[in-house]
Amino acid sequence: MNAIPTVYDVAERSGVSIATVSRVYRSPDSVRAATRERVLAAASELGYVPSGNARGLASRSTGVLGLCFPDYSDPDTVGAEDDDAAMLYSDQIIRGMERAARRHGYALLIAASLAGGPESLVAQVAGRVDGFAVMARTVPTEELEAISRRRPVVMLAGPRAQDPSLDHLDHVEVANEDGQYELTRHLVHDHGLRRLAYVGFGEDSPDVEARFRGFRRACAEAGVEAAAAPALRMPMMTQAEGARAARLLCERSGDRPEAFVFANDQMAVGALQALERRGLRVPDDVVVTGFDGIPLSRLVRPALTTVRQPMVRMGEEAVDLLVRRLSGQPPQEPVSLMLPVGVARRASCGCEETPVLPTVG
């Protein structure tokens, strides 16, 4: 087994003092950019993760768990009068992690953006926590490999098979494909819709692609035509982009789709607002659906038909897995959890609101 790299190894590799390596992680602005980059490059090559604070060095425990995820904030939601309405996907996961962390006696350290140097930020967060949860595709694989040699890591969202090199990590995801399948099947079978337009994400998102597979599977089973690619791929999954997608779909030549099926709730909410401005009635003129089940989806009018995923529970499960690893509890094999989702049938598809039933147990 290879020895765990130390601060001495990084100092030797980068040709600086141990004190300089320490300053790179504790106060990076105090180190010249060229030196800082050389130290971080050496640390990355060696797979070095900095130690925590003095308490951590003495006790091997910081009493803190970490979460790293991309900043999914939506400028159209920030500052909403109803605080609950502003709670988005990542906010709900944080709520679950904080709740479970308190229950286990841990604090939570959050890194909400990787802008300005992912290696430095990830290393700083990982070096100050006992365990680390990270959203899929947020941190480069080599960084996660380095972190996982020193402390437990849980992957959140995205299919486990997306990156086989990370199979040794615990993983929590939701039934994206089955959820979108059930929602699409509801539109086709219960509402008799035949012209459906799926609006996806321009970037490579395993979760969104899984939802599109569920959409196509339901269409294929019902004999409904569905293109090999989404009708639109938007550069961001925000309300503003949802509004723009609605305008683009309405302005296309030919018959307007009977349903706009969005890959998340934020875009769907933006579409509702844009359609209202155009004088189109939802669901009489066009049906709109989303995915996620954020609080805003039930507060808009008409209330949004969506697939509700257990975002709070995802955060709780991530913490429980980290604590289990830290305490040495079995099982020792990697754990992969698939959490159930449920279709919330509401007014935006023409339904009266009904209890949400899980589609996958």
Note the pLDDT tens digit of each residue in 15-50.
888 778 877 876 777 788 889 889 888 888 887 776
**pLDDT exceeds cutoff 50 at 325:** yes
All structural domains of the chain with their residue ranges: 1-48, 62-175+312-339, 176-309+342-358
What pTM, to 2 d.p., does this model score?
0.79
Nearest Cα residue to 185 out of 153, 215, 145, 147: 215
For 238-273, the pLDDT digits (tens) are: 999 999 999 999 999 999 999 999 999 999 999 999
User: Which pLDDT score, from 0 to 100, does residue 50 have?
Assistant: 67
Q: Taking the CB of residue 159, how many other CB atoms lie within 10 A of it?
A: 17
Distance CA 311, CA 92 (A): 6
Instruction: Read off the pLDDT of each residue in 218-233 and give the average, rounded to a whole number.
Output: 96
Q: Look up the CATH number of domain 1-48.
A: 1.10.260.40
Instruction: Read off the pLDDT of each residue in 182-198 and give the average, rounded to a whole number.
Output: 98
Same fold, 1-48 and 62-175+312-339: no
Instruction: Read off the pLDDT of each residue in 308-333 and give the average, rounded to a whole number.
Output: 90
Is the four-CA dihedral 146, 151, 155, 161 of positive or negative sign? positive
Is the four-CA dihedral 290, 294, 298, 299 of positive or negative sign? negative
- How deeply is 59 buried, as exposed, middle or buried, from its count of CB atoms within 10 A (0-12, 13-18, 19+)? exposed
Apex 7 CA angle, 35 and 9, nearest 5: 85
Nearest Cα residue to 174 out of 96, 116, 250: 96
User: Which pLDDT score, from 0 to 100, does residue 82 have?
Assistant: 46
- Among 39-43, 312-316, 352-356, the range with the most confident prediction by mean pLDDT is 312-316
151 contacts 61 by C-beta, under 8 angstroms: no
Distance CA 350, CA 187 (A): 10
For 67-126, the pLDDT digits (tens) are: 887 765 666 654 444 445 455 788 889 889 999 998 999 998 887 655 544 455 666 777
User: Which pLDDT score, from 0 to 100, does residue 319 have?
Assistant: 96
**pLDDT exceeds cutoff 90 at 177:** yes
Instruction: Read off the pLDDT of each residue in 278-295 and give the average, rounded to a whole number.
Output: 97
Give 342's strand partners.
308, 358
Distance CA 306, CA 352 (A): 13
Which CATH homologous superfamily contains domain 62-175+312-339? Response regulator (3.40.50.2300)
Nearest Cα residue to 74 out of 201, 300, 238: 238
User: Which pLDDT score, from 0 to 100, does residue 118 have?
Assistant: 45
Distant-in-sequence, close-in-space partners of 170: CB < 8 Å, separation ≥ 6: 152, 153, 154, 155, 321, 322, 325, 334, 335, 336
User: Which pLDDT score, from 0 to 100, does residue 354 have?
Assistant: 66
Distance CA 343, CA 194 (A): 19
Cα Rg of the chain (Å, integer) = 23
**pLDDT exceeds cutoff 60 at 11:** yes
295, two tokens:
């609080």
**pLDDT exceeds cutoff 70 at 62:** yes
Which carries the bigger pLDDT value, residue 21 or residue 172? 172
Q: Output DSSP code: residue 205.
A: -
Distance CA 312, CA 207 (A): 17
CATH class assigned to 176-309+342-358: alpha beta
Distant-in-sequence, close-in-space partners of 105: CB < 8 Å, separation ≥ 6: 63
- Among 10-14, 90-94, 120-124, 283-287, the range with the most confident prediction by mean pLDDT is 283-287
- Crossing angle of helices 33-46 and 18-26, in 10° steps, is 100
State the chain's mean pLDDT as an integer. Answer: 85
Low-confidence winner among 130-144, 227-241, 296-310, 340-354 (lowest mean pLDDT): 130-144
Which carries the bigger pLDDT value, residue 330 or residue 147? 147
3-state secondary structure of 357: strand
Distance CA 16, CA 38 (A): 9
